[in-house]
Chain A
Amino acid sequence: MEKGKGLARRWAVELHDASSSSSSFPDPPGFTRSAPEADDAATARQRKDSEVAWKGQKAWEVAQAPFKNLMMMGFMMWMAGSTVHLFSIGIVFSALFQPFNALRSVGKVFEPFKDPRVDTLAPKLLFIALNLAAMGLGVWKLNTLGLLPTNASDWVSSLSPAREVEYSGGGIPLI
């Protein structure tokens, strides 16, 4: 099937069933069908332990992934310079949106590692912290570009003149 998918669709009929062969043919000498079952509990625990370890390890890896991203973003920002143009705006917005999206899907990212015995809280916290740091970097960049209303001037620039109480008209009398 795997092969046929790429080429063309083909009908295939499997006439021999694997399960039926086991019953009709005797087991080879030295092979005891019950051996794996006997070992079951020990191997299962072992496998589970390794899986938990693996999950934990993976979770930490996923949690640290934004760090690389962060470094790259920093480099990109440094390259973009501090003047407002298309490139720098694009970088700043991607720097703001990537962590934002990542933060929104924190649960989904750590879904595969969900396990009552795996502690995903610490990696989650690290993930969130790193993403927040990335977002902070974006905001900082936004500020260096002068796009954040942090100055008094940003708040008064469109303030219309205050109303005057008194009015005095006149001038040179008409001759």
Chain B
Amino acid sequence: MIWETNIQTSTASKSLLHVLSSNKVAKDNLVLVSTGRSIYAVSSIDGVISWRKDFTLDDLEIKQVIQSPENDIVSVVGVAGSSKLALYQLNAKSGEIVKDAQESLPGGLCGETVLGSHDVLIALDQTRSAIFVIEFKGLSLSYNKVRVSNFVQDLSGTVKLLPLMSNGIIALQSSCTVYLLKLKGMDGLEVIHSFDRPAAVSDALAITEKDEAFAVVQHVGSQIEFIVKVTSDLSNEVIREKVDIDQHRGSVQKVFLNNYVRTDKSHGFRALIVMEDHSILLVQQGAVVWSREDGLASIVDVMASELPVEKEGVSVANVEHNLFEWLKGHMLKLKGTLMLASADELAAIQSLRLRSSEKNKMTRDHNGFRKLLIILTKAGKVMALHTGDGRIIWSNFLPFLRASKSGEISSALRIYQWQVPHHRVMRENPSILVVGRSGGDSVSPGVLSILDSYSGEELNSQRFDHSVAQIIPLILKDSSEQRLHLIVDSNSLAHLYPRSPDALKSFIHERSNLYFYSVDIQENAIRGYSLQKSCDLNLEDEYCFSTKELWSIVFPSDAERIAISETRKLNEVVHTQAKISADQDVMYKYVSKNLVFVATVSPKAAGEIGSAAPEEASLVAYLIDAVTGRILHRVTHHGAQGPVHAVVSENWVVYHYFNLRAHRFEIAVIEIYDQSRADNKDVMKLILGKHNLSAPITSYSRPDVTVKSQSYFFTHSVKAMAVTQTAKGITSKQLLIGTIGDQVLALDKRFLDPRRSLNPTQQEKEEGIIPLTDSLPIIPQSYVTHSLQVEALRGIVAIPAKLESTTLVFTYGVDLFYTRLAPSRTYDSLTDEFSYALLLITIAALVAALVVTWVWSEKKELRDKWR
């Protein structure tokens, strides 16, 4: 990268980029960036902002930047409010306003504008049924309003301008047709061509001085039709090709045209097609040349699933598809060993080896390293990636999440484990639950789909008659091992899934002990609810439960705003409730699934770092019991501000924030210990089992907790935070910190131990307590991602492997990264380098030596006897 310039914008508005073209090659060209009512000129050589202009007109939004071909004058066209059009002419070198003009247009503007020619602007009016043709010659603005229905017959609904053509051709999209209009001076437009139900229309691409080509893609049955036309001659088609496309990619969303010159000097075209599932395809000469699953760049949720158990008695031919393939593979390998293989064949051998290598097998392994990562993308596609090499095992573009099928914008929300077969239903495949929403807003009804996690087939799908506000997976399971889920809608009614009498029975049995809480960021409050017997509204629906508010914590809005709420992962396993120090003292951890960490920041300091003075910024961390709403601990950090990232595990919370006084980021740790069990120290009682340590805990007993905390400086700002998870929870933990450099840093929890002190005693040193330092060390070797970067890192997921020492880490952003970590080294397995052969040889040699010496001694004894 040569340079990067950040331009601070105050309001969220669409920004435009315009590169000033200049005839002088290799000169410092300016890049004009316009956003809202400001325009910046950035040098293309070093990225320095050479000038900046803020226009004084209120609510101005710059729509077009036009460079005049003759001189260094740049025209900036903006829309202010709903009806005012403003034109500014600037000196491109200095940014001074040369001239400006403003005009109010009757009927208002909807904001869509497009450049008809270099001095004609086309704008759509507020009702989207009329077009303004605005001409600006010099500084005079003249306009003409034309109703769309005047030149387009049988138009229904409203229209949209497509930023498509030049040459005086404008593309207009109505609900099902795209019209191409020709500009005829000031007074009118004429339809010259129309396309019925096109899937996508590309931007125009200049191929000669005056000719521009554009592409249109239409769906024809299971195929797509790809048409290229030239603007100068719309009646002819340059290309009309039919291309076969996978059905599971949905409909075409966008098309980008690209041309190349064939050997006979004619123009050939290729197109990049963006599909509904966010995959991209390159189409050329009637075929898909390559495709890419770019939906993987927008992951919404991830979970891990086990692979099938290896079945015995599966023949070789079955595994390798057919015998011929198998033979061919072996022939290739033979060629490889005899050094007869060509480069292509060597590559084939390599890929065969990779496919059949241990880590890429499609079966469960003993250590639990091989898993399926099930990924839900924003487009609504569910994909299963193999952890061995990241290949896609199956993908399913869920029909209910396709806008083309349901006709509304739907969104994929979450993915959960639905059924993990054990004893009784061992034969069945595990399944996953995908919850989505059919509609853009939070009150639109939800949908669920259950997929087989081995094959991706949809087993069941259901459309709710209620919305989805929260999904709460419960610990309960029904008789077919389906996990119970509570879905809370926007009216605070809880709905139980799966809808089976069996599930209902086990739920009713536990209902009085189940609660839920909701962190309302808008109202700045946390509320806890209990579940009532049945719905008030709908008595027939026995799977619906009304809720009753039990408690609420309302934060003062003028001093605190909720920044983050975090809980322990539901599947986290804690090995022990006791923490033992070097002097054999026992502390009992406060381990609770209902512990919620909430951090609030002062509203003044809610903006960016540096926007608030240290005196007016503060961060308050709360530990709340989600059943009773009791605040177990509260701590205020003065002069601290967000963004806050936190992770909760076992009995501790680690959170990251910015310290304004020290001008540095900080990481703080809070550990919570249960004081009410602290007197369980009599050895005799413990031996005889006369203690209350394994008695069930209720949140309604008076909690007596002690808290230890400490904070440290940390160099990086953080994008995501997670903690390693292991199968039994014995292995020590590491924090996984996604840094601003898009890397993942593994930091030992030992560095975040509130018992650290400046001079630890000998005993504490033996225990492994590190002397206290003001900042956390960043050891370059502890970067999990090594030298790689996970572009635009967003989330880190830790999955326990079957082997206790090992945890699987999946990091996602635009890139995906997967690795295996052993926070305390692999103490429970031999390393890969361990030579089993040497061990076997040694054993064999020893056995042989034993036999030989035994024979010798026997012989010698016999000889001695005969002497």
Contact = CB atoms under 8 A, between A and B. Distances in A.
Interface stretch (B5-13, B157-165, B589-597): B589-597
Interface stretch (B178-186, B245-253, B510-518, B718-726): B510-518
A94 to B, nearest CB: 26
Interface string B505-540: 000000001111111110000001000000000000
A171 B519 contact: yes
Given A166-B699, A167-B475, A161 B470 contact: no
Contacts of B693: 156, 159, 162
Q: Could you say which interface size class chain B belongs to? A: 35 or more
A175 interface: yes
Contact of A152 (B488, B521, B686, B867): B686
Given A162-B695, A166-B594, A152 B470 contact: no
Given A160-B574, A166-B627, A170-B472, A152 B442 contact: no
A162 B686 contact: no
Interface in A42-72: none
Interface string B526-570: 001000000000000000000000000000000000000101001
A172 to B, nearest CB: 5
Interface stretch (B18-26, B217-225, B578-586, B834-842): B578-586
B322 interface: no
A167 B595 CA distance: 10
B594 A165 contact: no
Interface string B318-349: 00000000000000000000000000000000
A155 B687 CA distance: 7
Contact of B469 (A152, A166, A168, A173): A173
A9 B475 CA distance: 86
A165 to B, nearest CB: 4
B344 to A, nearest CB: 50
B593 A153 contact: no
A163 interface: yes
B472 A153 contact: no
A9 B517 CA distance: 99
A112 B686 CA distance: 48
Interface residues of A, number: 29
A158 B519 CA distance: 35
A2 interface: no
Main secondary structure of the interface of A (DSSP, over half): loop
Interface in B684-739: 686-687, 693-700
B281 interface: no
A168 B698 CA distance: 12
Given A152-B683, A171-B567, A160 B576 contact: yes
Nearest to B521: A172
Interface in B569-615: 570, 574-578, 580, 584-586, 588-589, 591-594
Given A165-B698, A166-B515, A153 B580 contact: yes
Nearest to A150: B683
Nearest to A146: B584
A174 interface: yes
B681 A161 contact: no
A28 interface: no
Interface in A136-165: 149-165
A166 B413 CA distance: 27
B468 interface: yes
Contacts of B668: none
B680 to A, nearest CB: 7
A151 B518 contact: no
A169 interface: yes
A162 B513 contact: no
Given A153-B584, A166-B699, A168-B516, A158 B576 contact: yes
Interface string A93-131: 000000000000000000000000000000000000000
A152 to B, nearest CB: 4
Contacts of A160: 574-577, 694
Contacts of A154: 584, 683
B626 interface: yes
A173 B516 contact: no
Given A150-B683, A153-B584, A163-B697, A169 B577 contact: no
A157 B627 CA distance: 28
B516 A170 contact: yes
A171 B593 CA distance: 13
Interface of B: 413-414, 437, 442, 468-475, 486, 488, 490, 513-521, 528, 565, 567, 570, 574-578, 580, 584-586, 588-589, 591-594, 626-627, 680-683, 686-687, 693-700, 867
Interface of A: 8-9, 149-175
13 contacts: A152-B682, A153-B584, A156-B580, A156-B686, A161-B576, A161-B591, A166-B515, A167-B593, A169-B473, A169-B474, A173-B442, A173-B470, A175-B442
